[in-house]
Structure 1
Amino acid sequence: MVHIRELDPSGSPLAYYGYELRRAREAAGLTQGQLGSIVFCTGSLIGQIETASKVPQRELSERLDAALGTGGLFSRLVGLVLRSQLPSWFQPYAEMEAKAAYISTYQCQLVYGLLQTEDYARAVLGVEGGRLDEMVAARLERQRILARERPPVLWVVLDEAVLHRQIGSREVMREQLVHLLGLFGKPWMELQVLPFSVGQHTGLMGSFNLLRFDDRPDLYYSENYDSGHMTANPQVIRERSVGYARLQAEALSPRESAALIARVMEERHGEQAGPEARSVAEVVVQRKQRR
Structure 2
Amino acid sequence: MTNVNVLDPGASALDYYGFELRRYREAAGLTQRQLGDILNYTGSLVGQIETARKLPTVEFSQRADAALNTGGLLSRLVKLVMRSQLPAWFQQVAELEVRAAEICSFQTHMVLGLLQTKAYARAVLGVIDETNLDDRTAVRLARQQVFEKEDPPVFWAILSEAALYLEIGGRETMREQLAHVLSFEHNPRVNIQVLPFSAGAHAGVQGSFDIYRFPGDPTIVYTEGYGSGHPTANPDTVKDCSLRYDHLQAAALSLKDSAELIRRVMEDRYGEHLA
TM-score over 0.5 for the pair? yes
Provide the rounded CA distance (Å) in 2 between the counterparts of 1:38 and 1:167. 38
Contact kept? 1:82, 1:134, Cα under 8 Å: no
Corresponding residue for residue 283 of structure 1: none
1:195-234 map, 5 Å: 195-234=196-235
Structure 1 regions of 5+ residues with no counterpart?
Answer: 275-291
272 and 92 in structure 1: CA distance in 2 versus 1, 3 angstrom threshold: farther
1:206 to partner: Cα distance: 0.9
Q: Which amino acid aligns with 1:18?
A: G
Matched, 1:106 2:106: yes
Q: Which amino acid aligns with 1:207?
A: S
Residues 224-268 of structure 1 show CA distances to partners (whole Å, capped at 9, x for unaligned) of 110000000111000010011111111111122112112211221
Corresponding residue for residue 263 of structure 1: 264
1:56 to partner: Cα distance: 0.6
Identity of aligned residues (%): 57
Provide the rounded CA distance (Å) in 2 between the counterparts of 1:49 and 1:206. 39
Corresponding residue for residue 146 of structure 2: 145
Provide the rounded CA distance (Å) in 2 between the counterparts of 1:262 and 1:31. 50
Contact kept? 2:105, 2:211, Cα under 8 Å: yes
Instruction: Please state whether the residue corresponding to 2:151 is helix, strand or coil.
Output: coil
Structure 2 regions of 5+ residues with no counterpart?
Answer: none
1:273 to partner: Cα distance: 7.3
25 and 151 in structure 1: CA distance in 2 versus 1, 3 angstrom threshold: same
Contact kept? 1:106, 1:209, Cα under 8 Å: yes
Matched, 1:41 2:48: no
Provide the rounded CA distance (Å) in 1 between the counterparts of 2:156 and 2:126. 27
1:149 to partner: Cα distance: 3.0
Q: Mean Cα displacement is larger for which, 17-26 or 220-229? A: 17-26
1:226-245 map, 5 Å: 226-245=227-246
Corresponding residue for residue 95 of structure 2: 95
Provide the rounded CA distance (Å) in 2 between the counterparts of 1:271 and 1:54. 37
1:110 to partner: Cα distance: 1.3
Residues 32-57 of structure 1 show CA distances to partners (whole Å, capped at 9, x for unaligned) of 11111111111111111111101111
1:22 to partner: Cα distance: 1.3
Q: State the aligned residue count.
A: 274
Matched, 1:170 2:186: no
Contact kept? 2:2, 2:52, Cα under 8 Å: no
Instruction: Please state whether the residue corresponding to 2:248 is helix, strand or coil.
Output: helix
Contact kept? 1:159, 1:194, Cα under 8 Å: yes
1:271 to partner: Cα distance: 4.0
1:246-261 map, 5 Å: 246-261=247-262
TM-score, with structure 1 as normaliser: 0.91
TM-score, with structure 2 as normaliser: 0.96
Corresponding residue for residue 278 of structure 1: none
Residues 190-212 of structure 1 show CA distances to partners (whole Å, capped at 9, x for unaligned) of 21111111111111111100010
Provide the rounded CA distance (Å) in 1 between the counterparts of 2:273 and 2:143. 30
Corresponding residue for residue 28 of structure 1: 28
1:150 to partner: Cα distance: 2.2
Instruction: Please state whether the residue corresponding to 1:105 is helix, strand or coil.
Output: strand
Provide the rounded CA distance (Å) in 1 between the counterparts of 2:109 and 2:7. 42
1:4-15 map, 5 Å: 4-15=4-15
Corresponding residue for residue 193 of structure 1: 194
64 and 237 in structure 1: CA distance in 2 versus 1, 3 angstrom threshold: same
